[in-house]
């Protein structure tokens, strides 16, 4: 091999070594995420949140180049997430903290099933296993001028039922709002139809519905279960009286 070729080859080798050293130094100076922590999820799995974020648990991400706003906005599009905060935690951790929407009922809308939370936010169902114990709101016409008022009444009724405890919550199978004069409630235990008043003001609804739901529970316990009373309907709309039509 000629001296010229030896010199040229040596120069190439030196250049490659220098480039490799520079790359190695740059690699060492970069901080990569080696841990992703998810907080606040109650029903959503970590894998669901990773999928919403477009990440994998073993993703190799340069922490310095990480676009937190982009990841946050991706996760926020998930229909079951109310709020999300994404942050970097030194030295190499990515933290995703979420607040899930908490559905209180299944809402039948345009013949489709949706979920609704106590803030009246309607969102799609991603996992049907999560809705088995929820009451159903039915009989609403979105094109009706009274739609918003009736939806408000239904939500206030359900919130009052939840406040009275798990027993009453589990007794409510469906709330039908199609009748302009009453709230029609279908009970779970020995299915019976109950009529409640439509109370439009939220401040009044809480007091009225909690009192009426106490009567609702007592009637189910004392008459339907203990005395095996079978009713076509039970009307609880009036003060100081219960009107029950018995099955013939």
Judged by DSSP in three states, 160 sits in helix
Tokens for 132, please give them. Answer: 């088995």
Residues 173 and 240 in one domain: yes
CA distance 18 to 63: 26
Q: Is 142 in a helix, a strand, or coil? A: coil
Query: Which residues, at least 6 apart from 5, have a Cβ–Cβ distance to it below 8 Å?
Result: none
pLDDT > 70 fraction of the chain, expressed in percent and rounded: 83
Q: Are residues 56 and 142 located together in one domain of the fold?
A: no
| pLDDT of 132 | 73
Q: Report d(CA 217, CA 167) in Å as an integer.
A: 8
Q: What is the CATH number of the domain that holds 96?
A: 3.10.20.310
CB 50 within 8 A of CB 57: yes
pLDDT in tens, 202-228: 889 999 999 999 999 999 999 999 999
83 and 183 part of one domain: no
- What value does the mean pLDDT of the chain take? 85
In a domain, 1, yes or no: no
* Assigned domain for 205 exists: yes
Same domain, 229 and 139: yes
Residues 169 and 142 in one domain: yes
Identify whether the C-beta of residue 107 lies closer than 8 Å to the C-beta of residue 122.
Answer: yes
* pTM, entire model: 0.78
Sign of the dihedral defined by the CA atoms of residues 5, 7, 11, 13, in that order: positive
pLDDT at 5 over 70: no
Among 100, 125, 142, residue at a domain's last position? 100
How many domains are contained in the chain? 2
Domain boundary among 60, 83, 100: 100
Q: What percent of the chain has pLDDT over 90?
A: 56
94 and 120 share one domain: no
Give a yes or no: residue 77 inside a domain.
Answer: yes
Together in a domain, 138 and 39: no
Closest CA to 178 of 151, 140, 209, 146: 140
Q: What is the CATH classification number for the domain harbouring 218? A: 3.40.50
Q: What is the pLDDT averaged over residues 92-112?
A: 89
Query: Residues 53, 126: one domain?
Result: no
**Exposed/middle/buried for residue 131 (C-beta within 10 Å: 0-12, 13-18, 19+):** middle
Asked if residue 121 and residue 109 are part of one domain, the reply reads: yes
* Structural domain for 156, as ranges: 103-246
**Whether residue 241 sits in one domain with residue 144:** yes
Residue 10 has pLDDT above 70, yes or no: no
| pLDDT score of 121 more than 80 | yes
Q: Give the residue among 29, 28, 33, 39 at the shortest CA–CA distance from 66.
A: 33
Does 169 lie in the same domain as 67? no
The pLDDT tens digits of the residues spanning 33-73 come to 678 889 998 888 898 998 998 887 766 677 666 788 888 99
Residue 162 belongs to some domain of the structure: yes
Q: Is residue 149 part of a domain?
A: yes
Compare 108 and 132 and report the one with higher pLDDT: 108
Looking at the domain assignment, is residue 13 inside a domain? no
Asked whether residue 71 is domain-assigned, the answer is yes
If asked whether residues 75 and 59 sit together in one domain, one would say yes
Pick the last residue of a domain from 47, 74, 100: 100
3-state SS class at 176? strand
């Amino acid at each position: 091999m000629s001296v010229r070729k030896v010199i040229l080859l040596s120069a190439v080798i030196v250049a490659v070594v220098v480039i490799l050293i520079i790359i190695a130094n740059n690699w060492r100076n970069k901080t990569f995420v080696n841990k992703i922590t998810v907080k606040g999820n109650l029903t959503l799995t970590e894998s669901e949140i990773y999928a919403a974020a477009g990440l994998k648990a073993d993703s190799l991400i340069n922490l310095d180049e990480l676009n937190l706003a982009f990841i946050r906005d991706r996760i926020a599009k998930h229909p079951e997430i109310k709020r999300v905060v994404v942050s970097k935690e030194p030295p190499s951790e990515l933290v995703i903290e979420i607040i899930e929407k908490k559905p209180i009922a299944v809402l039948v809308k345009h013949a489709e099933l949706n979920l609704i939370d106590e803030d009246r936010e309607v969102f799609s169902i991603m996992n049907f296993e999560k809705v088995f114990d929820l009451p159903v709101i039915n009989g609403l016409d979105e094109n009706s001028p009274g739609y918003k008022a009736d939806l408000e009444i239904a939500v206030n009724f359900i919130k009052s039922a939840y406040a009275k405890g798990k027993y009453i919550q589990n007794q409510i199978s469906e709330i039908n709002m199609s009748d302009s004069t009453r709230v029609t409630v279908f009970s779970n235990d020995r299915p019976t139809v109950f009529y409640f008043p439509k109370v439009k003001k939220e401040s009044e609804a809480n007091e009225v519905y909690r009192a009426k739901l106490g009567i609702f529970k007592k009637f189910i316990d004392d008459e339907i279960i203990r005395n095996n009373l079978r009713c076509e309907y039970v009307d609880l709309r009036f003060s100081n009286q219960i009107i029950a039509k018995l099955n013939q």
